[in-house]
Structure 1
Amino acid sequence: MLVVVGDLLEDIVVWATGPIRAATDSAAQVFRSRGGSAANVAAHAAAHVRTRFIGRVGDDGAGVALASALAASGVDVRGQREGRTGAVVLLVAPDGERTMFPDRASAAELHDVPADWLDGISWLHVPSYGFEHEPMRGEVHRLVDLARERGARVSIDASSTGLLEGLGVELVIGWFAELRPDVLFANETEAELLGVADGGPVAASVADRVVVKHGPAPTEVFDGGARIARVSVTPVGAVRDLTGAGDAFAAGYVAAAMAGADATASCVAGHALAASVIASPGGDVDRG
C-alpha cells in the first residue's frame, strides 16, 4: 500500500483569460476543487495501487467536503479534524504558469498520528510542504522513521522553489540527507536550486535516486549521482494549467515502481498521468 502524508486543501483556481492588470479588474474564470499536493498524489495513485492519505483538515464543512471528495477517488482517508481548513488561491496565466497563495491552516498542525495508520505500508510519499511548519515537520520525520521500520520505501517531492528558499536550501538539503529517501522528485528549477540538476555529489548525498523533470524536455534519473536514464516526454496538446502536474507525475511513477517497473517505465507512467491534468483547472483527477 502507498501512504501519502500532507495537505488536503481547497483550491481556488483563477484562470486569467487576458492580460493580468495591476490595481484594476482582469478578466478571469474561477474554479473551486479539492486540492493539496499530497491529496493530489493520493487521488491519482488510487486508480493504480491501494492508497491511503494521512492529513489534517478543519472541523468545518469544508473539511468534511474535501475528505469526502478524496475518498470518492478511491483513497482510504485517515484524517485529523480541528480548527480551520486551509486553501490555496492559484493565479494561472494564459500560458499555464501559476502563482500560488497558500494558507495551510489546520493542515500544517498534523501531529500524533496513530502508528497503526501505517499498517500495510510498502511506500511512503511526502511532499516537502510537510516540512514548512511545526508540529508537522517533526511528525513527518517520525512517520518516515516508522515507515522505514516497516520496510517501506520513501519518496519526497521538492515541491516548490519558494518553499525551499523560505526554509533555507542548506537546511533542506540536510533534512533530505538525514531522511535519505529512496526517490527525490524535483522539477528543473527546484533541482538547480538544490544543486542536483546534473547529478553529482549533492544528488548522491540527498537520495538514492533523484528524478529531475524538465517539462516537455526529457526527464533525467540519477542513481548515486550518476545519470542512469533520460526519458523523453510524449508531446501533448495545449497546456492550460500546470497545477498538480508534478503530483500526478509522482503518483504515476510511484505506482509503476511499486509494481516492479524500472526507472524508464516509471517515468513513462508519470508522464502519462501528468499529461492528464494540464488541460483542466487545478490538480484534481480529470474525470473528463
Structure 2
Amino acid sequence: MLGVLGDLVEDIVVWVDGPLRHGTDSDARVFRRRGGSAANVAAFAAGQGPARFLGCVGDDPAGHALAAELAGHGVDVRVAHAGRTGSIVVLIDEAGERTMLPDRGAATLLAPVPDGWLDGLTHLHVPAYSFDGEPVGTAAVDALRRVRAAGGTTSLDASSTGMLERFGRERFLALATELAPTLLFANRDESAFLGLLVDGRPGPERARLAATTVVTKSGAEATTIDVPGEAPFGVPVPPVREVRDLTGAGDAFAAGFLAAFLDGLSAGLPDGGGLREAAARGHRCAARVLASPGASCPPD
C-alpha cells in the first residue's frame, strides 16, 4: 500500500481574468477545493491502487469535512486533530501559473505517527513541505526511517523553490542524503536549485544522492529520469489540449508514477524500462487536472 504523509488543507483557488489591479477590484472566479500536496497525491493514487493519507487537521468543521472528502475518494484517512485547519490562497494567472499564499495551520502539528498508521505500507511518499515546521518535520523523518527499516521504499517531492529557500538548500540536501529515498521528484527549477539536474545534465550535487533516482519534470517538455549509475533519459510529455490551472499537476504526476511503480511496472528499474512506463502514467494522470480549478479533475 502507498502511504502519503503531509498536508490536508483547504485551497481557495482564484482564477484571475486579466492582470491584477493594485488598490482596486480585479475580475476573478473563486473556487474552494480540498488541497495539500500530500492529500492530492493520495486522492489521485487511490483510483489506481490502495492509498493511505497520514496527517493532522483541526478539530473543526473544515478539518472534518476535508477528511471526509478525502475518504470519499477511497483513501484510507488517518488524521490527528489539533489547532485549526490550514488553508492556501492560490492565485492562477491567465497562463495557468500559480502564486500561493499558504497558512498551513494544523498540518504542521502532526506528532510521531502511531505504529498502526504505518502497518501494511510498502512505500511512503513525503512532500518536502512536511519538513518545514515542527513537530511534523520530526514526525516525517521518523516515519520515513521506520518504513525503510521495515523493508519498504520511499520517495520525496522537492515541493517548491520558495519552500527550499526557506528551509535551506544545504539542509535539504543533507537530509535527503541521510534518508536516501528510492525516488526524488522535482520540477526543473527545483532540480536546478538543488544542483541535481542543470540544463539536462547531472548537476554538482547529484553524486550526494547516489542511491536515489531523480525524476525531473519540465512542463510540456520531456521528463528526465536520472537512475544512479546510468545516463539520464527523457520521457516525452503528450500534448494537452487545454491548460488553465497547474495546481495539483505535479501531485497527480507523482500519484500516477508511484501507482505504476507499486504495480510492479518498474520491476526493471536498473534499465529504466519500468520507469518509462511509470512516467508515462504520471503524464496521463497530470493531464487530467490541467483544465479544472485546483487539484481536481473534470467528470469522466
Q: TM-score, normalised by structure 2?
A: 0.94
1:220 alignment partner, one of 224, 233, 239: 224
Which position in structure 2 is the counterpart of 1:112? 112
Which position in structure 2 is the counterpart of 1:272? 284
Aligned residues: 288
Deviation at 1:200, TM superposition (A): 4.6
Give, as a single letter, the amino acid of the residue that structure 2 aligns with 1:271. H
Q: Which 4+ stretches in 1 moved above 4 angstroms?
A: none
Distance 1:186 1:227 in 2: 18
Distance 2:187 2:166 in 1: 17
Which segment drifts farther, 177-186 or 225-234? 225-234
| Structure 1 residues 259 and 45, CA gap change in structure 2 (3 angstroms) | same
Question: SS in structure 1 opposite 2:231?
Answer: strand
Which position in structure 2 is the counterpart of 1:199? 202
The answer to whether the 8 A contact 1:44-1:285 is kept is no
Deviation at 1:134, TM superposition (A): 1.3
The answer to whether the 8 A contact 1:200-1:226 is kept is no
Deviation at 1:185, TM superposition (A): 0.2
Distance 2:298 2:208 in 1: 36
Distance 1:195 1:156 in 2: 16
Which position in structure 1 is the counterpart of 2:124? 124
Equivalent residues in 2 for 1:170-181, closer than 5 Å: 170-181=170-181
Give, as a single letter, the amino acid of the residue that structure 1 aligns with 2:202. G
Deviation at 1:24, TM superposition (A): 1.2
1:248 aligns with 2:252: yes
Q: Structure 2 unaligned runs (5+)? A: 266-273
Which position in structure 2 is the counterpart of 1:76? 76
Which position in structure 1 is the counterpart of 2:270? none
Distance 1:200 1:3 in 2: 30
Distance 1:277 1:227 in 2: 31
The answer to whether the 8 A contact 1:40-1:285 is kept is no
Distance 2:248 2:298 in 1: 11
| Structure 1 residues 53 and 285, CA gap change in structure 2 (3 angstroms) | farther
1:48 aligns with 2:60: no
Which position in structure 1 is the counterpart of 2:237? 233
Alpha-carbon deviations, 1:160-179, whole Å to 9, x = none?
A: 00000111111111111011
Distance 1:165 1:54 in 2: 25
Give, as a single letter, the amino acid of the residue that structure 1 aligns with 2:256. G
Deviation at 1:204, TM superposition (A): 3.4
Deviation at 1:17, TM superposition (A): 1.0
Q: Structure 1 unaligned runs (5+)? A: none
Distance 2:73 2:231 in 1: 35
Deviation at 1:285, TM superposition (A): 4.3
Which position in structure 1 is the counterpart of 2:149? 149
Distance 1:285 1:70 in 2: 14
Deviation at 1:201, TM superposition (A): 5.4
Distance 1:29 1:251 in 2: 28
Which position in structure 2 is the counterpart of 1:94? 94
The answer to whether the 8 A contact 1:43-1:284 is kept is no
The answer to whether the 8 A contact 1:5-1:127 is kept is yes
Distance 2:299 2:213 in 1: 32
Which segment drifts farther, 13-22 or 61-70? 13-22
Equivalent residues in 2 for 1:17-56, closer than 5 Å: 17-56=17-56
Aligned-residue CA RMSD in angstroms?
A: 1.2
Deviation at 1:227, TM superposition (A): 3.0
Q: TM-score, normalised by structure 1?
A: 0.97
Deviation at 1:229, TM superposition (A): 2.5
Deviation at 1:49, TM superposition (A): 1.1
Distance 2:218 2:194 in 1: 15
Give, as a single letter, the amino acid of the residue that structure 2 aligns with 1:249. F
